[in-house]
């Protein structure tokens, strides 16, 4: 073969090799670009779930609360997308219970029932009359017990007071009242029991005037919770001007055990005031619930 032919053959082979290499490079680049784009559309963190089964918002009695928790449910990625990049098949590890940041008054020695109350109920806006009556009654018991002691007997108290159905509690006679007072498992003072029964009668009257106890309570809030953003527990107030105003009106209507401090505790538990500390994982979740358009349930 002549030298010109050899050079020409070598040039053709080199060009062919270069073209093949360039084509492979372009394919790799396109795959990388597509994978990078898909990661933006389907973030890796959403391929698997942050499943907090213990953080259910079932206590709020509203259907939209399920929508909030559904954000933690697994999002299915189409098979075609999984075939494009296997990078979508793994996720960041789920945070453990110990890694969750909670309000400073929840410690490693806190009772499980108290932690559950903090994680599931405290600060969740409540619109159900039974739930509001229950939380107001439990807050009234804080004069004798702390939250942990109350929550340990919560189911027993619910059963004793007909699930906090105000109409049924308002009809309780002397015999039923004395049975509750004499219960060794409930350990409720007579004046506390009678206060709950009297408050039930007041709630029935309010229902006739405002349509529901919920409408009455949330009307004081202009149908929107107060959202506080504090980092230190000492900055969480024991009483507020709003709590004082509500307390004053409740007393005027015949309610008992509804001082400003008790009312403020009730408002915190019922999500009328969001007082989770700013770094607590529940602060953002409760704020998301609080910022929904209000509607009576």
Does 283 appear as a known binding residue? no
Rounded to the nearest 10 degrees, the angle between the axes of helix 190-210 and helix 213-220 is 90
CA 7 to CA 12: how far, in whole Å? 9
Does 103 appear as a known binding residue? yes
Could you identify the residue written with the tokens 């024991």? 238
Q: Are 271 and 126 in contact (CB under 8 A)?
A: yes
CA 47 to CA 260: how far, in whole Å? 47
Tokens of 212: 């529901």
CA 126 to CA 146: how far, in whole Å? 21
Does 118 appear as a known binding residue? yes
CA 214 to CA 297: how far, in whole Å? 9
Report the DSSP beta bridge partners of residue 226.
Answer: 273
The helix (run of H) or strand (run of E) holding residue 13 is helix 3-41
CA 147 to CA 138: how far, in whole Å? 8
Does 202 appear as a known binding residue? no
Provide the annotated binding site for Zn(2+): 103, 118, 276, 280
Provide the annotated binding site: 103, 118, 276, 280
């Amino acid at each position: 073969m002549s030298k010109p032919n050899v050079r020409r053959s070598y040039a053709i082979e080199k060009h062919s090799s270069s073209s093949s290499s360039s084509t492979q490079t372009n394919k790799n680049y396109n795959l990388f670009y597509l994978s990078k784009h898909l990661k933006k559309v389907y973030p890796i963190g959403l391929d698997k779930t942050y499943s907090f089964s213990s953080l259910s918002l079932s206590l709020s009695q509203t259907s939209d609360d399920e929508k909030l928790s559904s954000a933690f449910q697994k999002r299915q990625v189409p098979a075609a997308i999984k075939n494009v990049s296997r990078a979508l098949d793994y996720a960041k590890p789920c945070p453990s219970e110990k890694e969750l940041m909670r309000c400073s008054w929840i410690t490693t020695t806190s009772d499980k029932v108290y932690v559950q109350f903090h994680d599931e109920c405290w600060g969740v806006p409540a619109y159900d009359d039974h739930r509001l009556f229950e939380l107001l009654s439990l807050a009234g018991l804080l004069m004798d017990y702390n939250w942990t002691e109350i929550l340990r007997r919560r189911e027993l108290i619910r059963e004793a007071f007909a699930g906090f159905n105000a109409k049924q509690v308002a009809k309780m006679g002397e015999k039923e009242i004395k049975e509750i007072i004499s219960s060794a498992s409930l350990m409720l003072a007579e004046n506390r029991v009678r206060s709950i029964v009297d408050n039930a009668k007041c709630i029935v009257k309010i229902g006739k005037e405002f349509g529901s106890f919920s409408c009455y309570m949330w009307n004081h809030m202009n149908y929107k919770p107060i959202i506080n953003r504090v980092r230190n527990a000492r900055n969480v107030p024991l009483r507020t001007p709003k709590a004082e105003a509500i307390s004053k009106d409740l007393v005027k209507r015949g309610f008992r055990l509804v001082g400003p401090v008790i009312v403020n505790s009730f408002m915190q538990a019922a999500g009328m005031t969001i007082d989770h500390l700013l770094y607590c994982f529940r602060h953002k979740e409760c704020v998301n619930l609080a910022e929904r358009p209000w509607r009576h349930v």
